[in-house]
Every structure is written in C-alpha cells, then in structure tokens.
Chain A
Amino acid sequence: MTQSISPVLLKVDGLVTRLRNGARIVDDISFRIKQGETFVLLGESGCGKSMTALSLMRLLPDSIHIESGAVRLDEADILALPERAMREVRGGKMAMIFQEPGLSLNPVMTVGEQIAEALELHQQLRGAAARARCVELLDQVGIPDAARRLHEYPFQLSGGMKQRVMIAMALAGQPVLLIADEPTTAMDVTIQAQVLQLLRDTQQKSGMSILLITHDLGVVAQVAHQVAVMYAGHIVEQATREQLFLHPAHPYTQKLFAALPDTARSGQPLAAIPGSVPPLHDIPKGCRFAPRCDKAWELCHEQAPEWTGVGEGQGVRCHLYEGQGAKAEGRVMGTEGMVPSTQHSVPITQSSVLLQVSDLQVHFPIRKGILQHTVGQVKAVDGVSLEIPQGRTLALVGESGCGKTTTGKALLQLIRPTAGSVRFAGNELIGLKAQKLRKQRAGMQMVFQDPYASLNPKMRVAEILEEGMAALNIDGNNAARKAHLDILLDQVGLARSTIWRYPHEFSGGQRQRIAIARALAVSPKLLICDEPTSALDVSVQAQILNLLKSLQQELNLSYLFISHNLAVVEYLAHEVCVMYLGRIVERGTVEEVLHTPRHPYTQALLSAVPRIDKRGVEMIRLAGELPSPVNPPQGCHFHPRCTHAMAVCRAAYPDATGISTTHGVHCHLYGDGLG
C-alpha cells in the first residue's frame, strides 16, 4: 500500500460532542486520515456518523456543541480557529457533500451561478475565468454538454446529475479533504456505481482525501482504504478494508456481516442483531453493544472496554481482545455465521395460482390548458403480466421510476388501472364496484416503504390494527378482536403491552412490524411489500426479513416483493421479474435471473450492486439514466443505454423469448437464435 507512507492529513483525537442536555452524541473518537486515502465511517442510523462530520466542519446545530478533543487538519487546529478563518477552511480545505442532492442545491439559482459562487469565494475567480472553470469542473464530474448545463436549474437535472453538480461545487475550492455524508444512499444502484466511480477517479486525479460516511457495507467494499465502525457514539473497530472483511474483530462488525442477506443463506434465517441501537440519552453503563451482544459477560455490562490493538493497523473496543489469548477465539467466532448452507429448506411445491395479472396498464393523462384536454400519457405501467402461486414470493426489481410501486398499487386498486386484468383467487378485480371490491380487500394487503409515513401518528397501535378489521367486519365482538390483536402482536414479535402506545414511541423496525401486523389483521393471502426494508438499518432489515420469511412458512402467505435491493431479493424471493420503464424485461426463478441473467439491463443492474465479496463480475457501466415514461425511446426501451444495441433494437420492441420453461426475456439478442 502506498498510502502507508503518505503523510497524515487529518488528526482527530478524543473528540466529544454532546447535546446541551448532556447526551454524548460523539464520544471520545480518534482517527487519522492520510493524504489520498478514503476513510469510511460505517454505522447504522443514529450512531453519530453525521455528527462527527459536522463537528469536523464546525457546523453543528445550536443544541449540540463540541466539548473536548482536538482536530488538526494539516497541523492547523480546527477547533481553535476563529469563525472568520473557519470560513476559509470550509469549502477551501474541507468540502462536504450531502445525502440528498435535491435539498442541497438552491432551486432558484442556476447550476453555473452556484458553482461560480464557490469559485469566487475560494479561488477569487470572476466573470469569464469563473465560467471557464465551471465548465471544466462539470466536465470533470462527467456531466455531458457542460456549457449548456451551466444555465440550467436544479429541477432540470436528475438525481445523479445533481449529486455530480454537488461534487463539482465541492471540488471548486480544491479541498484537501472531501467529506461525503451518505452520498449515494438516495440513488439507484446504477447511478450509485457511477457516482462512486467518479469519487474514485477524482481522488486519483487530485490526490485529496475522502471521509465517506455510509451504512452500506457494499459501498465500503468498493471505495474504502480505512474503515472505522461506529456504534452509539463510539468507534468500536478500525481496520483497513482487507483486514475488516477478512477478520472482523468486534462482535458488532461480525454481526453486521452476518446480517447481510444473500443467496447462500436464503434457506435459513439471517443472523439478525436483536433490539436496536440504544437511544443516546440512555446509554448502557458498560460496553454499549453489550445488551445486543451474544458474547457479552458480566464485565461487558459493568465496564466500558478500552481501545485494544489487534494485528497491524487494526483496533477494537471490546473486552474479548484485552487478553491476547482471546484474540484467536474472537476470530473463530467471527466466521461462525458465515458457513454457507445447503440449498432451500422450503420445498418447492406446485401450488395453485393465487394472483394472475395480464397486460396490466396504468396510464396517467397529462392535461394542459384551461379545458384540461389530454396532450399525452405517462405510461407508468405498460403491459405487465405476472403470476403468483400460493405461498410463493415474486420479486419485482427495477430502478426507481420504472413503475414497480405503481404496479403494486394498481393490483390493490388503489390506483385504477387503465386496462388489463387482475384475477385474484379466481375473481376479476378490475371494474368491480366499490362495494364488491371491499369484499376482496381482505385477501390482498400492502406493507409500505416508509414506516414513519405509513402509521397515523395520532392513532394508537390498537386502533391502527383494528381499523382494517372494523372496515371489513372481521371479528365482530370486542373480546374476539382483543384476542386477535394479541395473536397479531405475538406473530410480529412485539410485546402485548405496546398496544396502547403511539407510533412515535417505536423505532423504525418496530414500526415496520406494526405495519406488517396491520396488514395481517385481515388475514390476507397475498402481501404486497413495497420496499419494506429500504428505510431500515442492516441489522434491523435482517429482523424484518426473517419475520417475513417465518410468516410465509407459518401462514402460507404469498408475497409480491417490490425492491431495488438485489441482495434482499436473492434471499427472499422464489421468482423475479425485472422491470424497465413500465415493462417486464426479464422473468424467471431467482437462480435463473440473478445467476444467469440474459437481458443486458439485468446484467448491468447486477454488476452495479456493490458486493462485499467481489465475485469477479466485470462491471458493466450503464450510461445515462432512466428515460422519462412520457416519451419512451422508440423500439426497445433500453437501447439508448445498452452496449449490445443493434439496428433492430431501435426499430421494434422485442417479443418475449423463452430461455427455459420458467425463464423469459424481452431482448433481440435471444430472439433470433432461440425464438
């Protein structure tokens, strides 16, 4: 490694940041970032990652302040600088990019103006010189047609473009350290791959250091040199990427790896970490992870562990490693959860088709003018057909904006489909009158993406759960309903006493359990899960996935699992449909689609997923982004981004081609030979 000889750029020693009421948000953190190095802070939400970054920039909110510690950037004491000098440092030496590029750009200023502002401040460039530099920067971050983009407003750019502009703005001051706070979390995998690549390229060219904050182990695997794992305000482990992935030392890190879903474990439950991150005002006395750790003994609950070095450059905050002998033991345990299992434990049984969808279309008219005449159609869902047998899981995969969620809602008749047929348990749902539709409601329910938006904050758990039963007249009398509620809470793993509490008293994972219980309350046969884990932390995601899996076995439920997370799909689903711009481009069993993908889009999607174990799949970089469904490309929708595009692709949309009895694909590549 070359970076071992490069000088240290940023030194953080014993940084403590606390709330005014005393809660320590960042608790005694020390690390070094060398020049040209990518240092990753890894941790779940609420563990103090972002607050660490804001402390370095001295941009903490009013209620939070830095109590002690030292931050030295290039030997300058950041914490001692006066505010005036600090302004030079921000943007000039340290720059920051945020998670939500849509919120970090000013919507009423053009892109050029915003970059020029940074240039004027830090480089004293004005007028033509600034404009030239802007174009140069936009070129550097890979924005095509940069000169024209300068005069565009943020709303004219897509999410990936906006993040590129943010990076360009950060680079404008030629910083030596770039702090990136979850820069790709809000993006699709294909865009995420583009942005991560951009960060790597920029780093190579300019030699700056990057402090990357993320919760995604896949991202860590792709870009990190050094990794620090944070838990409840502490850094619990620090190592190089190779060391961390080979020998995770801290039980928490080990658990994080074990909680990642993948095919190897799709038959057995994930190693979920019980409970959730402790609230910062109520931190346990001893080791902060002790209440969730299965290796904890008395000492862990009483005394906080000290920082212990294990191996070269690796350190850990755990009692297991304080005696040298324990070291080996810990490592052995680390691999315990990684034993690959045999194939599916669920026997594949032929069962009756529960839901049959054919040629489903949802078009939204675009209206214009005073008379509101229709000038066009947004073809959100354009001819989707699928089948879900009883007790099976079908995953619907695709980037955001491809119509996955709309499909789910159209199946439930929350959005009226334009055309097509939805047959549920033998009954046609489309065109049913509201009264008759209500009878069918109980059979099909939905679990939503955001557990914070899907529960009414003014209703207690009991009221939330009872709502469906009341609307559909299930369990007429009070006693029966009460008993049913208790069963539901048991099923989703919540204490019965929680029934009189309000949603805001629960954590994200618990809320998602309530949402699942609400759906189960009317005993549905099919659950439509719309990205149920994408708003959750890895450790909690594993709990919810385990729950969904065990509920399926217990109640013989069918799932339509809508997701962009291929690892989750791989773990949970039996069949997969890949959607692109309102149409299904490839379908088949999990093994077929995810291991031998045929459609170029599926291949690109799979290769863009950051994997912790690089399986030697060559990266297929997709150019550009999802086109607008208002005006889909002629011919095959995917051809403008496809590396295999031929003349015929521009002319006609490919028909379905069967690869095997279960595997089908819409692509001209296979049409001739096999069709």
Chain B
Amino acid sequence: MMPVILWTDALIFLLITVGITAVWYIRQRPHLMLPWQRVARSSVGMVSLLVLSLFLLVGLLDSLHFRAALPEKSNGQTVYSPEVLSVFDKLVSGLRSRTEKTYSAPLTAYLYAKESMEAPGGKILRDYPRLKYGGAHLADPQRELVGDVAKRALLGAAGGLLVWVLLIAAVFVSFPRRRESSGLIGLDGRSSKLRCARFPACAGMMENKTLRAVLIATLIIAALIGAIANLAAAYHVLGTDKVGQDVLYLSLKSIRTGLVIGTVTTLVMLPFALLLGVAAGYLRGWVDDVIQYIYTVLSSIPSVLLIAAAVLMMQVVIEMHADWFETAAARADVRLLCLCLILGVTSWTGLCRLLRGETLKLREMEYIQAAQAFGVSSLRILTRHILPNVMHIVLISVVMDFSALVLAEAVLSYVGVGVDPTTISFGTMINAARLEMGRDPMVWWALASAFGFMLVLVLAANLFADAVRDAFDPRLNRTEGVA
C-alpha cells in the first residue's frame, strides 16, 4: 500500500492542523474560552456541531488516499494499482463494489427497467429482473421484503443503541476526570452524565438542557447509523444510479468534494476580501478608489461567464500536460483545486463591499480616534481594532458563502464547467439525475439524496454559525445570567 497525498488532502490537513492549534491556543486563555463555553451551552449549536463533525469525519476519512499494491510483482518491485482509493472507500468497500445494472429504487429487490428474461420453460417474458445484490437473499421479495426491511432496520437500530451505550461507558472509564471542562465537546458531557450517579453534586448536570439535547441527538444518530448500516449490507438504501452505483455511496463521497469547495474557496477568498475591504474603508483616498474600481469591474462581469472562461482555460492546460499527473485521481484533484481558486478569486467582492462599509462606520468610532491619539500605527489599528470588530460579519458571510459555494459547484457542474466528471460531487449527481426526472415512474432518489445531504450539511453549518455569532456578540451577552 502506498499513501498518496493529493493537493486538496494537503490543504485539508493544513486546515486541521490550524484548527487544532487554534483550539490549543484558546484553551490556554480563559477569556478566549468564554464565548466558546457559551457556544457549548447552546443546544442548537452543539447538536449542529455534532452533525457537522460527522460530515467532517466522513470527509476526513475520504481524504486519506492510498494506492493498493497489486498481487503480481515486476522485477521484484511492488506494483501499485493505478486506482487511488481512500480509507473511506476501504471501509465501505461493500457499497462501492456492489453495482447493479442500472437504476433501482431505494430498498427494493427489483431493477427499475423491464428486461426480457428467459423463463425456465424457455418462454421469453418481459418483467422487472431481480437485483444482483439488493435483496438477493430473499426467496420471494413480493411477500418478504417489508418484513425483512423492518427487521433489519430494528436490529440495526438496536445495535446502534448498544454501541452508543458502550461508547458512553468507554468514555466514562477513560476520562473520569474531565467533568470540570464544562462539557465543551460531546464527550465531556457524556462522561459527566454517568458521574452523576455517583456524585449527587453533579446531578444538576442531568438538568443541563444542552447535555440532554446532545445526548438525545447522539442517541438518534447512533440508531439511524445502525439501521442504515444494517440495511446497506443487504439493500441499496438510497437506490442506484444509471450505471448501477449505490446512491448512498455517491452521496457520502460527495461530502468531501462539497467540504473542499466550501472551505478551500473560502480560504482563498478571505485574504482578498479582508485585506482589501478593511484597507479601503480605513485608508480611504486613492486606495479606496482603486479597490472600489477593481471590485465594481469584477462584479459587473457575469460570474458564470468569468468562471467558465477560467475553467476552460485551465482544462486546456491540464489536458496538454497529461504527463504532469501520475494518476487520473491526481488530475481530477488538481482540477478541483483550480476550481476552488477560480471561485475564490471571483467571489470576494460581496464580502469586500460589506467589510468596507462596516469599516467606514467603525473608523469614526471614538476608540479608533483614541488609538490615533496615541499614535498607534495604521496597521495595528487595522488588526487590533477593526478586524476583531468585523469578524462577526466575516463569520456569517463565510458560512453563507459555504452553502452558496456548495450550490455553485452544482450549478457549474450542470453547465459543464464544474469538477472533473470522474469526481463524485453533489453537482455531478444532480447533473446526472436531472434528465431522469421526466421519466415515468420518476427516478427521484438520486436527486432527493443529493438534496437531502446538502440540506443537512448546509443547515448544520448555518445553525452552528448562528450559535457562534450569538456567543460572540457582546450586546447579546450583556445580561448574561439573567435568565
């Protein structure tokens, strides 16, 4: 096995390192911890964080790429498969390999299209053939299907619950002293729950609304995952697509693409928007004029046109230099990265404009003038006074943009200038499914799954951002402890 680090993988690892460092830094400083503790007290915030981290986990597992070693060797050297797989692929190899012939509805045993089949008597009859994998164990699906699905779902849910209980017990055993860290993450919260049995003092923790919400959410999620996992072993839970790939697998694989587009693009966009917006607002004069002209011109070009032109140019370059890339996956990945860059460079104008306006307001504030009276340098005023006071705008618009970018990817793929056709993404899923919406009976599941997953992802991100914003807003927290 040979690990492969694609460009986007590297960026994701970098992001995670930055995230962990930030957490460590904040934990050292109680005053920075304070707002996050408020986040930890918000039920909506914690539950959405939980959902979000599940998505992140899938995305992360999907970012650990490798090439499997082939059994035969050439000249004593190990030969690796040209196919780049991820740890996630390995984990759900069943889902990946069990492909049917073409469309099939969720949780069914029959194909979507009728076929001519030879009956035992030699007669040719046209009927819906049985699936190769989905419900293959059933003798008479017409009769047994519903009962079997229900049984498997229940068994799976029960299994999930069992794992949940074991997990909590394990957490309790391994972190018996983490109670005082105020349940910042779900694990802390769970450990405290069990300690309550021993220490009446923390019985109050059971009354803790947030903790209860998180526990209930984990309970539901565990049961749901259990049920789906158990069903997926024998059925296609969300059906199959045109070439018979499992839609659940496609949806899960799309998460990584969505996350990459959402986060990496934001990373590209942020420096532009922050630097230019704040500088334009604070320095005024010719700096403001130049920046304003740039973003006015940029935002008056139809963005799809601009992106399409840039993507097509990039595509040509990539195709002319096929030798730059070892594998098809590497090429698709570079295309994804370039798409992020292009989206980032073309989408900073909105945030930049917002930040300029806010800075115009802030620069007249008396604390800025007080700083000027001390002779504090412009750079320091920008970083110490203005940046922290526009961060709430950045936070909100970044999350809004995150959702918008995931959607933009879908639109671009639809136009044909999105990600590489071999990359699985919500956009390519929707693009492939759109034509089948007109068929009768309708092929709804591919679109519905993409829609559902995107909705949950974007909604969780939005709710979490809301909770964070509220926690950081000093005006909302002035009367803390009143309620």
Contact = CB atoms under 8 A, between A and B. Distances in A.
Interface of A: 19, 21, 23, 279, 281, 409, 412, 414, 434, 437-438, 441, 444-446, 448-450, 453-460, 467-468, 471-472, 500, 502-505, 515, 518-519, 522
B268 to A, nearest CB: 26
B370 A454 contact: yes
B475 interface: yes
Contact of B380 (A449, A454, A471): A471
Interface residues of B, number: 26
Contacts of A279: 479
Given A456-B367, A457-B474, A500-B31, A468 B374 contact: yes
Interface stretch (B148-156, B309-317, B384-392): B384-392
Contact of A467 (B371, B474, B482): B371
B366 A471 contact: no
Given A438-B375, A467-B374, A471-B376, A504 B367 contact: no
B78 interface: no
B145 to A, nearest CB: 52
Contacts of B373: 412, 414, 441, 444-446
B369 A446 contact: yes
B372 interface: yes
A471 B374 contact: yes
27 contacts: A19-B482, A21-B482, A21-B483, A279-B479, A281-B481, A409-B369, A414-B372, A414-B373, A437-B375, A441-B373, A441-B374, A445-B374, A446-B370, A446-B373, A448-B366, A448-B370, A453-B367, A454-B367, A455-B367, A456-B367, A456-B384, A467-B374, A471-B376, A503-B474, A504-B477, A505-B478, A518-B370
B369 A458 contact: no
A522 B367 CA distance: 16
B442 interface: no
A30 to B, nearest CB: 27
A437 B389 CA distance: 28
Interface in B119-145: none
A667 B8 CA distance: 78
Given A457-B389, A471-B380, A504-B477, A441 B375 contact: yes
Contact of B366 (A449, A467, A503, A522): A449
Interface in B384-419: 384-385, 388-389
Contacts of A515: 370
A522 B369 CA distance: 16
Interface in B447-483: 474-475, 477-479, 481-483
B365 interface: yes
Interface of B: 31, 365-367, 369-377, 380, 384-385, 388-389, 474-475, 477-479, 481-483
Interface centre among B369, B375, B380 (most CB of A within 10 A): B375
Contacts of A518: 370
B375 A471 contact: yes
Contacts of B366: 448-450, 453-454
Given A281-B482, A500-B31, A458 B388 contact: yes
A434 B367 CA distance: 20
B31 A472 contact: no
A279 B474 CA distance: 17
B231 to A, nearest CB: 46
Contacts of A519: 370
Interface centre among B377, B384, B477 (most CB of A within 10 A): B384
Nearest to B385: A456
Contacts of A504: 474-475, 477-478
A448 B31 contact: no
Nearest to B375: A438
B358 to A, nearest CB: 13
Given A21-B483, A518-B370, 4 more contacts: A414-B369, A414-B372, A471-B371, A504-B475
A504 B472 CA distance: 12
A453 B368 CA distance: 9
